[in-house]
């Protein structure tokens, strides 16, 4: 079991069988988390950047969201905050989401399509984007990484692209990893 304490007296406990987050509002427990997302966002006052918020969110099987914010102001304790953020993500991945990702890869290899966040469908031929029915085939797909999102582009049609934001899209890291592994397999 991994346990993480925070300055507001909240505590996160991650085991192979559950995730439990306890704070002053109560306790949320998840035995089978459905999705997660994580990322950073700046903390600004007027036009001045005073820090960063590292945010991890886990969607439980009962459709509740566990939000784990780690804030850093004026760069004080930045390495410690980032280290805790990275440890929590790694614990969540190894305890719960690596198995889910392996199942997704296995089912994809068996010819199944996957819908992520009700916006993106990974099919055998490419990425179908939302209700706009935009489609980017794997043969002309390119992925560009940015600070808070990644872009999936078509190399032949510059108007055909989508931005997938880490903090706005559930399982964005899974979409990214799946698309990258498919593109690497195609290129080799």
Write down the pLDDT at residue 107. Answer: 85
Segment 157-162 long-range contacts (CB within 8 Å, at least 24 positions apart): 160/134, 160/136, 161/136, 162/120, 162/127, 162/129, 162/134, 162/136
Report the CATH number that the domain containing residue 147 is assigned in CATH: 2.30.29
pTM of this structure = 0.87
Last residue of a domain, one of 52, 72, 100: 100
Same domain for 87 and 131, yes or no, is: no
Last residue of a domain, one of 34, 69, 100: 100
Per the domain annotation, does 92 fall within a domain? Answer: yes
Phi-psi region of 168 (alpha: psi -120 to 50; beta: other; left: phi over 0): alpha
Write down the pLDDT at residue 131. Answer: 66
Last residue of a domain, one of 46, 69, 100: 100
The residues of the chain scoring below 70 in pLDDT are 131-132
Q: Are 57 and 67 in contact (CB under 8 A)?
A: yes
Per the domain annotation, does 105 fall within a domain? Answer: no
Same domain for 43 and 72, yes or no, is: yes
Domain of residue 14, residue span: 2-100
User: CA 172: distance to chain centroid?
Assistant: 4
Model confidence pLDDT, tens digit, residues 103-132: 888 888 888 888 887 889 898 899 999 866
C-alpha span between 163 and 152 (Å, rounded): 7
């Amino acid at each position: 079991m991994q346990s993480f304490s925070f300055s507001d007296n909240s505590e996160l406990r991650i085991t192979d069988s559950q995730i439990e987050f306890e704070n002053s509002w109560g306790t949320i427990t998840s035995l089978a988390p459905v999705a997660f997302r994580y990322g950073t966002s700046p903390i600004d006052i007027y036009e001045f950047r005073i820090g960063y918020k590292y945010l991890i969110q886990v969607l439980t099987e009962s459709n509740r969201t566990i939000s784990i914010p780690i804030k850093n102001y004026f760069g004080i304790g930045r390495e410690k905050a980032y280290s805790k953020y990275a440890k929590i993500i790694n614990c969540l991945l190894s305890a719960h989401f690596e198995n889910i990702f392996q199942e997704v890869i296995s089912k994809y290899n068996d010819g199944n399509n996957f819908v992520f966040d009700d916006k993106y469908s990974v099919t055998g031929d490419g990425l179908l984007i939302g209700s706009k029915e935009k489609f980017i085939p794997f043969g002309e797909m390119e992925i560009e990484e940015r600070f808070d999102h990644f872009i999936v582009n078509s190399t032949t049609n510059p108007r055909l692209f989508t931005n997938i934001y880490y903090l706005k899209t559930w399982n964005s890291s899974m979409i990214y990893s799946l698309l990258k592994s498919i593109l690497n397999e195609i290129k080799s």
